[in-house]
Amino acid sequence: MEAKGEVFAKQFEAKVEEATALLEKLSDADWKKTTPAEKWTVAATAHHVASSYEPITRIIKTIAAGQALPHFTRQMLDEMNAQHAKEFAGCTKAETIALHKKGAAAAAAAVRGFSDAELAKTGTVFTGMPPMSAEEMVKGALLGHIDEHFGSIRKTIGG
């Protein structure tokens, strides 16, 4: 039986491939559309996901190592995301695809390296909320995040 890290990494890589194919086929008009779910441009939504791989991976590594994360709230995350959406509303498709591929490759490599015991470790991600396991972060913050936002992009462009 494969270790969970390997299984999750393969699932993530498959989702990344689908997302990459979607990004590459987007027209300039699609890139500028606003997503109903996030109320961000497709550009900002795609860049949001691409730029999230590194910090999410850092959080998962910290939990898997049994270390504590700094004070962080959902409100802080929401504020960061809103600011990011404004700053990257007009980012280029090429830079976003490059960031997406680079960040996803590093995230997949990290996930692949986790033991089942490391994935089972828990830590507080958001202050005032129940602890999460490294596995829950992989499922929600990597796998679920890409599904959520790229699903929104698909709906926006009618794909």
Q: Are 8 and 137 in contact (CB under 8 A)?
A: no
Between helices 42-64 and 93-112, what is the axis angle to 10°?
Answer: 20
Residues pairing with 127 in the sheet = none
Name the pTM for this structure. Answer: 0.95
Architecture of domain 4-157: Up-down Bundle (1.20)
Nearest to 61 by CA among 116, 119, 13, 139: 119
> Would you list the domain boundaries of the chain?
4-157
Question: For residue 126, which amino acid is it?
Answer: F
94-139 pLDDT, tens per residue? 999 999 999 999 999 999 999 999 999 999 999 999 999 999 999 9
